Amino acid sequence: PTEIFRADYLQPANWVKSVSMSFDIYDGKTIVKSNLVVVANEQSKHDSRDLVLDGDGSSVVLKGVEIEGRELKEGIDYTLTPSQLIIHSTSFPNPQSFTLSTTVETVPEDNTQLSGFYKSGPMYCTQCEAEGFRRITYYPDRPDNMATFTEVKITADEEKYPILLSNGNLVSSEKKEGGRHEAVWEDPFPKPSYLFAVVVGDLGSIQDSYVTTSGRKVKLEIFSEKENVGKLDYAMESLKNSMKWDEDKFGLEYDLDIYNVVAVNDFNMGAMENKGLNVFNTAYVLADQKTATDGDFERVEGVIGHEYFHNWTGNRVTCRDWFQLTLKEGLTVFRDQSFSGDMGSNDVTRIENVKGLRGRQFAEDAGPMSHPIRPESYVAIDNFYTATVYSKGAEVIRMYDTILGKAGFRKGMDLYFERHDGSAATCDDFRSAMADANNADLDQFSRWYTQKGTPTVKYSSSLDADTFTLNLSQHTATAPENQPFHIPVEFGVIDSETGEQLVESHVLHFKEKTQSFTFKLSSTPKGSAVPSVMRGFSAPVKLVSEASPATQKSDLLTLAAYDTDGFNRWEAGQKLYTDAIFAELHGDELNLDGVYQAFEQTLTSSKISDDSIRAYGLMLPSESGLAEEMETIDPIGLHQARTAIKKKLARKFETGIAELYARLTQEMAGAEFEVNAKAIGKRRLRNTALDYVCANKDSDEEIVASARTAHKHYFDANCMTDQVAAMSILSNVHGVTEAEALRDEVLEKFYNAAEGDALVLNKWFTIQATSSKPDVLADVVKLTTHPEFTMSNPNRCRSLVGAFTANSAAFHAEDGSGYKFIGEKITVLDAMNPQIASRMVGCLIGFRRYDEGRAEKMKAELNKIRDIDGLSPDTKEIVDKALS
């Protein structure tokens, strides 16, 4: 495997301009024929005019190559390697333009990588992003080659496979001999090969329609296996909402007559935006009251939106090369986050997104896989579908919006489409459109694309009469060579006594290593003037105050009580909790007055009208987020310290929490189940209260009592959200027989009620894998032999093995047993599905962040993996980076 560099990009010597294809599907063999209309690319700087086609010889077997009726000969007319078919220019009849035809055979039934054309249960489907199309046929499998797929003909057995789908519009369908039938599809929009899709199966569906602003009627259809058709309504609703939202916010309409979505059980990613034929992992499209949690509903809405929004940001304007991946992904994540915020609550969505960024992207940026949102090189591009490219990429887009304002951002988007619609663009093109549309200087802003690592912003402030000074400095510990970033800092000042705004919120442009800003206060403060910095989390940085601990604490209390910015109000509470957890961890003297004050305020304040905000305000920061604040991560100490603080809060506020729980239980009793921000907020708050009610336990009696509460919560539940909340609590029970009996009863009940539903069973596996029981690894090992467990389904594999790696205290057990377990699983997985294996190996690569004992054991597993015979390039790339 070779490393590919961004700087080496060259246009190809030839373009494929249009394509017609046929898929002849038989059990155990599919014949794919392709006719490619090739034209010379005059702009190419390649010396050779040869036509280079990608093809994965482990997946396709070449049966014939022709140019306009003439059979080509290997060695003379073409060269075949394990990864390419090179047509010598000497064989071109007319170097300007000709048609090349190939025939290959492939066996989708044997394709366990789930890239290319494969079988998922009883259906066939494709996954082509990033480089799956070369596992279907020989083709210039690069995103800058945009071609019109004029005809895709699919032929298969009619009874077994009544549904035959591809991109675009259906041209014809007819019966054939021998019980077979055929469908022909045409996609009028030129597209790169990664957006190609075929789906074949015996599927059920729901249908609806949408009329765009300009009056185009679009037929919407969502397909799934027949038993799941009842779980598609929420996705359909979300799809229509997405279509409307993109028209309202960006003036972007859908462009085909059909929009199809298919749910597939075996899928590496979340979903795929193939033109007119989205393919979805079932986990991101199926949802109903009985089987989906509120988190699942939110994800369905978000991912349906995401894939729909790709139709413009990704499909109409695509990426010139894979280094530009964040051009479509960062932008589209930003769009789906904005959509989710508008559908529910912007503050809630913001909090959730930042939690996600801190838990995953910050960790990535602090480890060996740290890369700029636009990487400079890769071996396997599939390894760069990362939190950095996606989530940090979305933060970078959000900064344009913050710097230019909503109207300015929209002007930039309009210009971007005006310039690049129908073509393959770069991140620089996007930045230029934003700059030119607004006459803005975004040169320094380009560093967000070239420099890696999470910057730290430190601040201090002073007051001299009515002049307030804010001093800022920036640096990146993991990349000290970084030049200063253009950081938008949303900022305001608050009076600690009155809560009044002494400086109205506005954006500062922080561009130097150190910089000071001065402001006149609008009135004389009655208390102290407290800065609120980085409101709304206006940049993806770590923010550190340089004030004395006492000032910091009182500032945080002011912000937690008064900040007009919802994010920073929440953030202030989180910082107080964080300080308390670290004080507990380090054995420092514990003064919890501030924490208690913030918690009580959150619990009781009548100013908080959103139950989700109250719930998030009561929750302690996650272990993964906290870990990023530590030089050397102590996973077990962290878990214990966090648990201890939680228990203290539960004890201190026992009455208040119990009252809250009882009040909400009463309010919600008998209410109809709904999925909207309000109903979700209520459930979220009640389940947060339940968590505290059940945290309050030391004696056996208390443990039994809390298990009873959770047990009752489970059996009274009218939805999956509440069941999961109760079962998660119960899954931690150990050592008290009576409580264990309640735990086992619920686990068994849950399993039986699932009746084999794959997504529900995934939850059953995950909850057990993330238990805080001391013997959780033994449970997990046993579950790997459960008849419902399989490594070959990515969702199932992640639900048990992946979930266990997120159970930090257990995974990082001092004896290395967690590492050994994962090492063995990766070995099995790599031979089957390299994309999933290389993702899984991510849990070992951060070994430098741990103590020597752990680091050595993690490294030992990595070394073993590196020595695997035939290790995939995907996994090898990650392991090599980690060990170098």
Q: Which residues contact ligand DPP by CB under 6 A? A: 129, 269, 271-273, 306-307, 310, 329
Query: E strand or H helix at 247, and its extent?
Result: helix 233-250
Given a contact cutoff of 8 angstroms between Cβ atoms, the answer to whether 730 and 707 are in contact is: yes
Partner that binds at residue 272, options Zn ion, ligand DPP, none, CB closer than 5 to 8 Å by kind: ligand DPP
State the Cα–Cα distance between residues 425 and 317, nearest whole angstrom.
Answer: 7
Instruction: Count Cβ atoms below 10 Å from residue 738 Cβ, excluding itself.
Output: 13
In the complex, which residue's CB is closest to ligand DPP?
A: 269
Partner that binds at residue 503, options ligand DPP, Zn ion, none, CB closer than 5 to 8 Å by kind: none
Nearer to ligand DPP, 272 or 660 (CB): 272
Find the shortest distance in angstroms from Cβ 197 to ligand DPP.
12
In order, the DSSP letters of 780-838 are: HHHHTTSTT--SSSHHHHIIIIIHHHH-HHHHT-TTSHHHHHHHHHHHHHHHH-HHHHH
State the Cα–Cα distance between residues 728 and 731, nearest whole angstrom.
Answer: 5
Find the shortest distance in angstroms from Cβ 52 to ligand DPP.
25
Count of H-run helices and E-run strands, the chain: 29, 31
Q: In what order do the strands lie in the sheet with 51-54?
A: 51-54, 84-87, 78-80
CA of residue 486 relative to chain centroid, distance: 26
Find the shortest distance in angstroms from Cβ 508 to Zn ion.
32
Nearer to ligand DPP, 273 or 584 (CB): 273
Q: Is the peptide bond before 283 cis (omega within 30 degrees of 0)?
A: no
State the Cα–Cα distance between residues 347 and 612, nearest whole angstrom.
Answer: 9
Partner that binds at residue 129, options Zn ion, ligand DPP, none, CB closer than 5 to 8 Å by kind: ligand DPP
Amino acid of residue 87? I
Find the shortest distance in angstroms from Cβ 312 to ligand DPP.
13
Given a contact cutoff of 8 angstroms between Cβ atoms, the answer to whether 387 and 366 are in contact is: no
In order, the DSSP letters of 214-229 are: T--EEEEEEEEEGGGG
Nearer to Zn ion, 315 or 568 (CB): 315
Nearer to ligand DPP, 256 or 271 (CB): 271
Nearer to ligand DPP, 329 or 495 (CB): 329
Cα-trace Rg, the chain: 28
Q: Kindly state the tokens that stand for 507.
A: 């954006």
Nearer to ligand DPP, 275 or 648 (CB): 275
State the Cα–Cα distance between residues 53 and 671, nearest whole angstrom.
Answer: 60
State the Cα–Cα distance between residues 590 and 581, nearest whole angstrom.
Answer: 9
State the Cα–Cα distance between residues 816 and 794, nearest whole angstrom.
Answer: 25
Nearer to ligand DPP, 333 or 581 (CB): 333
Find the shortest distance in angstroms from Cβ 121 to ligand DPP.
21
Find the shortest distance in angstroms from Cβ 495 to Zn ion.
44
Nearer to ligand DPP, 329 or 563 (CB): 329
Find the shortest distance in angstroms from Cβ 244 to Zn ion.
20
Site residues (CB under 5 A) for Zn ion, limited to 304-343: 329, 332
Partner that binds at residue 579, options Zn ion, ligand DPP, none, CB closer than 5 to 8 Å by kind: none
600 is catalytic: no
Nearest to 11 by CA among 424, 375, 379, 417: 424
Q: Give me the catalytic one of 151, 221, 307, 861.
A: 307
Partner that binds at residue 271, options ligand DPP, Zn ion, none, CB closer than 5 to 8 Å by kind: ligand DPP
Q: Kindly state the tokens that stand for 5.
A: 């560099």
User: What values do phi and psi take at 60, rounded to 5?
Assistant: -115, 140
User: Which residues in this chain contact Zn ion in the complex, by CB under 5 A?
Assistant: 329, 332
Q: Which residues are identified as catalytic?
A: 307
